[in-house]
Amino acid sequence: MAKRGEEALLDRITINPKVMVGKPVIKGTRIPVELILRMLAQGISQEEILKEYPRLQPEDIRAALAYAGEVVAGEEVFLLQPFPEVLPRSYHPLIAGDVYE
């Protein structure tokens, strides 16, 4: 039975310590997921990315996004600044003294 959806997309990503120092890349290439994500963040279109990297398929770009989603979903979140109206001062370990007074 064929894999569907996000699982099939994630199969397009590989991690190998001998390729790009173990960074996640598109399978069969040396194109890092990070590069694709940064290009998208810069506003470069999917069409432009595919033109620049002809070995890529549209599914590879979707796979990079799916991979990023998986990484962020499993990430622990640490507040850098407390929200004084919601959290008590003692909640945030990096805040000391009379910050709110």
Does the pTM of the predicted model rise above 0.85? no
Residue 100 has pLDDT above 50, yes or no: no
Query: What pLDDT is attached to residue 93?
Result: 55
Place of tokens 């805040």: 95
Instruction: List pLDDT tens digits, range 1-60.
Output: 345 788 889 999 999 999 999 999 999 999 999 999 999 999 999 999 999 999 999 999
The H or E element spanning position 34 is helix 33-41
Residue numbers of the domain that contains 39: 1-101
| Domain CATH code at residue 29 | 1.10.10.10
The residue among 77 and 29 whose pLDDT is bigger is 29
The residue among 78 and 82 whose pLDDT is bigger is 78
Total count of domains within the chain:
1
